[in-house]
Amino acid sequence: MANEIVSVNSAGAFANDESFDPNISGDGRYVVYHSWATNLSSPSDGGFDVYLYDRLLDTTELISVGLSGANSIGTSIRAEVSDDGRYVVFESDSTNLVSGDLTNRSDIFLYDRQTGSMQRVSENLAGGEANGNSESASISADGRFVAFLSNASDLVVGDTNGRSDVFLWDRVTGDTQRVSLTTAGAQTSLSSFSADISGDGRYIAFDQGNDGDLYLYDRLNGTVEFIADQGRDPSLSHDGQVVAFASQATLTPNSSSTTAQVFVYDRTANQLELASVSTTGGPMDGLPTSDSRGDSAPISISGDGQTVAFATRLADNLVNGFGDTVYLYSRNTQSVSALDVPFSGVSPSLSYDASVVAVDNRASNDDQIYVAFNGVGNNSPTVALSNAISSIESIQDTSNRIKVADIVVTDDLQGFNILTLAGTDSSLFEIFDGSLFLKAGVNLSNINTSQLSVQVWVDDGSILGAPDDNVIFELTVTQPVVPDDFADSFGDVSNPFGQLSVEGAVSGNLEVIGDRDWFEVNLIAGQTVQFNLVGRQSGAVAPLSDPILTLYDSAGDLLDIDDDGGDGLNSRLTFTATSSGTHFVEVGGFADTETGAFRLSANLPPNANDDVFAAFENSLDGDFKGITGNLFAENGFGTDSHPQGETFTITQVNGEDLIVDAGGIAIIDVAAGGFLSSTALAIIPDTGTFAFLIDDAYDFLPVGETRTETFTYTIEDADGAADTATVSITITGIDSNDLFNGTNAADTIRAGIGNDIVRGQNGSDRLFGDNGVDRLFGGNQNDVIRGGNQNDFLFGDNGNDRMFGDGGNDVLTGGLGRDIVNGGAGRDKFDYNRIQESRGAARDKIDGFRHNQDDIDLRTIDANTTVGGNQRFKFVGDDGFSRTAGEVRTRDVGGNITKVEGDVNGDGRADFTIDVVGGANLTAGDFLL
């Protein structure tokens, strides 16, 4: 089969500039890459952007899209895609992918193609920008976990090694953890480089140190395993049991070489083998090629762990007649083959079964992304149905989707298969979790056919074109029999009473205006029964539009009535019998003017008991801002239960129906009129698990003061029987580790005792850290910020701020604006990250600088903007500038003020200036350069 160019736009035109570093999904359907091209999508800024190509639909989509659909401002590269194509992770220094990104540091981003939302993964503990660069992201098959590298020190607590580390981010919980630790769980003094996560998200492989020793982290057990000496650029199989990597060490008897070789290690069998094996059984005589940035040798192992792909240059002893290209090592045959491609390919990426390979072509005048076919001999899968139902009543309740069959796929390879639906009635069905469902909300009574038909197709993704196999499902829609007319009153002897049993249902029809139907039901004293009357289409008979439900005792005397509260609603009565025996239920219409079909049921309802929860203000800080629990459990008034042991689910909160997403979770805003300025309730309706979430605008609660929030929830069983309970959450303010958020006005916030985070937001604020290790952020106006007695972090952000560290070893970052900063007692650090933070009329003043004790930190400012990277400054004392970029000098101007000036472009003029009070005779030891 011919190779396929995938760096094309949706109209089929080839990319008009270079494209790099592809990554292909496990089923071979989706390919992501980055490109200079300007014709792949709109908008396009002509810089590096990330794109996704769908091989099934032949469409190209821009992934690195800016806020409100604008061009991204920066460079976006090195993407990976989840197996279902929903999530794409990549690195970017763009400043408009998410709001509040004020630096051009490289960050990791996750794009959700289903919701169109962009999320920054590499965020610090406060949920803001990290203080270092992050790169080289790797995503699990389901898109939940992302592994990445970062030299930031504020992603987790206790990161003080000043090195690049490997981190793991959980999309579901939002947690970030450092995984490049020693076997004892301590941080290491070595930098980590490349990282790869297994498809199941359990294992992360990474290399560490200049010699590149290779390690494997087990997320479930929290353990670190040594893999190989001088190992680098790892690639993991789906289950993490097989690792492919490069190494220059002699790891096998046949691998002795002066150049790096490719190896594959089977952890289960404890077997290491040379993958870059030559035709004579020895090592290859070339080198693994590097990716587009030149700092790694991309190696790809198939998800099943049986095939390793790598590219070489200068190798001529792997396969006769081939040189610089992509090679495939088969563990089954222990042999190397050349990918049959007419170009010089690099950066290979294998599908799960290695049937297709995405390749970056570096041939002259091409530079496109290709998908090549490996020809592994994959037999086409077959599809069948099991546990299928054959018929369904037209009055069947379809408010929830209904499973109609299980889908069984048989495939000789353990790869991924694409299931699709076709046929006239395919829009009425959906595939979910490997089964075929009738969609929720389908009105069977309005269907103009007695039989629905849909085709289920399967495609293993190994080739394009028609899917591999299909099976037809047919569902007969039957009409219920409408019973004969029932008695119209208690004394009607011309017609029989209908018979209704507890945990049963009957259907009927009010044939003419004034008609009523009476039913007998036998109740037991003390028994609580819920009667539900629903207007429901029956064949050609329209539903009863405004039903009225009435209950009588054995003598025909009125017990209860429900008029449903308005037109078009259904009726429900919950009744506890005081005596055993026959009772009567009357079905009628509003003012005896309604006709139509109905369904009447009598069920034992579930029991929903009220819940009481308590939380403390300090439990609402950090990334977790609320409480969790289970509404079905014992929370003060007993567990929720069902007298018949039937399952039940939450259907309403505060009287409103839940909208459940594809993950089985409902999100409800419950903040209206409450003390909390914005809250949301996340519920899993089937289990009762909930999270009461509070956003960053949570109002500070003074010590000892309480506030109570309430909401109601309704549980319902499969028959529609329901009960409602009230949840009360009482929040008490205490002095501990708090999160304080100001408003847009001028706020005064005292953090009190504990390690607190204080954000002034907009407005000219006064922020006090008091006791504890605090992090204080001024915001956008002219703020006054005081740290307290311990080691605090003060951030002025925008505005002309006054900052006082007071006691402790503090870090003071003025940000933009003309700031006055005073460290106070202790060894303080005055941190500058950009030349714009102190220049011209907006230059800062450091008040009370103490020679040989305080430091001025210039490390994150690039000292030489004429070359790439982050260069270091050179201190030249009070000498003049020599027109060499990267010089820092001091200049005493009298009045106990010394000016610190820096030249970053070599023009001999100061690009930034800091006024230092008490800074006479500054030396290089007073700076962090």
Residue 375 clears pLDDT 90, i.e. is over it: no
Higher pLDDT, 701 or 369: 369
Three-state SS at 590: helix
How many domains does one find in the chain?
5
Mean pLDDT of 640-647: 90
CATH number for the domain including 772? 2.150.10.10
Q: Which of 712-726, 758-772, 808-822 is predicted least confidently?
A: 758-772
pLDDT of res. 264:
97
In a domain, 99, yes or no: yes
* 724 shares its domain with 782: no
Residue-wise DSSP of 299-341: EEE-TTSSEEEEEEES--SSSTT--SSEEEEETTTTEEEE---
* 364 shares its domain with 446: no
In a domain, 493, yes or no: no
- Which residues have C-beta within 8 Å of that of residue 365, sequence separation ≥ 6? none
Residue 722 clears pLDDT 60, i.e. is over it: yes
Own/partner pairs, 216-223, CB within 8 angstroms, 24+ separation: 216/240, 216/243, 216/267, 217/166, 217/168, 217/179, 217/180, 217/181, 219/145, 219/168, 219/179, 222/185, 223/183
* 762 shares its domain with 648: no
Please tell me what DSSP assigns to residue 918: T
Confidence of residue 253 (pLDDT cuts 50, 70, 90): very high
Residue 551 clears pLDDT 90, i.e. is over it: yes
Of all residues in the chain, the percent with pLDDT exceeding 70 is: 87
* 242 shares its domain with 287: yes
In a domain, 484, yes or no: no
pLDDT of res. 490:
81
pLDDT of res. 564:
66
Sign of the alpha-carbon dihedral angle for 66, 71, 76, 82: positive
Mean pLDDT of 327-340: 87
CATH number for the domain including 694? 2.60.40
pLDDT of res. 323:
66
In a domain, 286, yes or no: yes
Instruction: Read off the tokens for 144.
Output: 């939940």
Residue 381 clears pLDDT 90, i.e. is over it: no
Please tell me what DSSP assigns to residue 287: E
Residue 680 clears pLDDT 60, i.e. is over it: yes
* 397 shares its domain with 504: no
In a domain, 486, yes or no: no
Q: Given its phi and psi angles, is residue 457 left (phi above 0), alpha (psi -120 to 50 degrees) or beta?
A: beta
Instruction: Read off the tokens for 698.
Output: 């949570």
* 535 shares its domain with 616: no
Q: Which of 309-323, 338-352, 516-530, 591-605 has the highest mean pLDDT?
A: 516-530
* pLDDT digit string, tens, across residues 758-780: 888 888 888 888 888 888 889 88
pLDDT of res. 416:
55
* Number of Cβ atoms within 10 Å of the Cβ of 39: 15
Confidence of residue 308 (pLDDT cuts 50, 70, 90): very high
Share the mean pLDDT of the chain. Answer: 85
Residue 640 CA to its chain's centroid (Å): 32
Residue 579 clears pLDDT 90, i.e. is over it: yes
Burial of 744 (0-12, 13-18, 19+ CB in 10 A): exposed
pLDDT of res. 482:
46
* 361 shares its domain with 406: no
Mean pLDDT of 407-435: 80
Own/partner pairs, 657-664, CB within 8 angstroms, 24+ separation: 658/683, 658/685, 660/685, 662/432
* 490 HSE (CA, 13 A, CB side): 13
Residue-wise DSSP of 503-563: TEEEEEEE-STT--EEEEEEE-TT-EEEEEEEE--BTTBPBPSSEEEEEE-TTS-EEEEE-
The domain boundary, picked from 732, 755, 788, lies at: 732
Residue 362 clears pLDDT 90, i.e. is over it: no
In a domain, 490, yes or no: no
The domain boundary, picked from 435, 450, 478, lies at: 478
CATH number for the domain including 508? 2.60.120.380
* pLDDT digit string, tens, across residues 697-707: 444 555 556 77
- Print the SS3 string covering 153-214: CCCCCCCCCCCCEEEEEECCCCCEEECCECCCCCECCCCEEEEEECCCCCEEEEEECCCCEE
Residue 419 clears pLDDT 70, i.e. is over it: yes
Q: Which of 390-394, 752-756, 916-920 is predicted least confidently?
A: 752-756
Q: Which of 387-401, 676-690, 803-817 is predicted least confidently?
A: 676-690
Confidence of residue 218 (pLDDT cuts 50, 70, 90): very high
* 591 shares its domain with 618: no
Cβ atoms of residues 593 and 551 within 8 Å: no
* 390 shares its domain with 249: no
* pLDDT digit string, tens, across residues 823-873: 888 899 999 999 999 988 889 999 988 888 899 999 999 999 888 888 999
Own/partner pairs, 782-788, CB within 8 angstroms, 24+ separation: 782/817, 785/760, 787/824, 788/751
pLDDT of res. 294:
38
Residue 862 backbone dihedrals phi, psi, to 5 degrees: -70, 115
* 453 shares its domain with 422: yes
**Can you tell me the distance from the alpha carbon of 99 to that of 116, in angstroms, rounded to the nearest whole number?**
15
Higher pLDDT, 220 or 565: 220
In a domain, 492, yes or no: no
* 300 shares its domain with 162: yes
* 550 HSE (CA, 13 A, CB side): 16
Q: Which of 406-420, 490-504, 613-627, 797-811 has the highest mean pLDDT?
A: 797-811
Residue 78 clears pLDDT 80, i.e. is over it: yes
* 698 shares its domain with 747: no
Higher pLDDT, 443 or 87: 87
CATH number for the domain including 172? 2.120.10.30
The domain boundary, picked from 346, 373, 400, lies at: 373
In a domain, 23, yes or no: yes
Three-state SS at 427: helix
Nearest to 560 by CA among 523, 514, 597: 523
Q: Which of 158-167, 461-470, 518-527, 589-598 is predicted least confidently?
A: 461-470
Residue 95 clears pLDDT 80, i.e. is over it: yes
pTM score: 0.48
- Domain extent, residue 580, equals 498-603
Confidence of residue 674 (pLDDT cuts 50, 70, 90): very low
* pLDDT digit string, tens, across residues 448-478: 667 899 999 887 655 444 456 888 999 988 7
